Amino acid sequence: MVKKTASIEEVLAAIEAARDKVMADEVKSLTKLGIPKAMAYQMIASRFHQKVGNQEEAEPDPFEGGNPTTSWEEIS
């Protein structure tokens, strides 16, 4: 039995392609519900921590540890 190995670049490309497909499917579903396409892109991008259009910086996730002084009381 021969094991096939993949490079890190191939794995990352596959993950990014899967993420892009999921995002596109979700945008399509939201537009079917009547949500404007631009708003749907923003909603989905915020879930996947992506920048959209002229957006400067996505809002930081309080659970990612970017701000060690944030307490649980401030988050809730």
Q: Is the residue at 26 inside a domain? A: yes
Inside any domain, residue 33: yes
pLDDT, residue 75, reads: 55
In a domain, 67, yes or no: no
Handedness of CA 59, 64, 68, 72 (dihedral sign): positive
In a domain, residue 25? The reply is yes
Q: How many domains does the chain have?
A: 1
pLDDT tens for each residue of 7-55: 999 999 999 999 999 999 999 999 999 999 999 988 888 887 766 565 5
DSSP-H helix ranges across 1-76:
8-32, 37-47, 72-75
42 belongs to a structural domain: yes
Question: How far, in Å, CA of 21 to CA of 27, rounded?
Answer: 10
Within-domain flag for 45: yes
Please, how many CA atoms are within 13 Å of residue 66, restricted to the half-sphere of its CB? Answer: 7
pLDDT value at residue 64: 54
Domain that holds residue 28: 21-49
Does 72 score more than 80 pLDDT? no
Within a domain: residue 61? Answer: no
CA count, 13 A, side-chain hemisphere, 53: 8
13 part of a folded domain: no
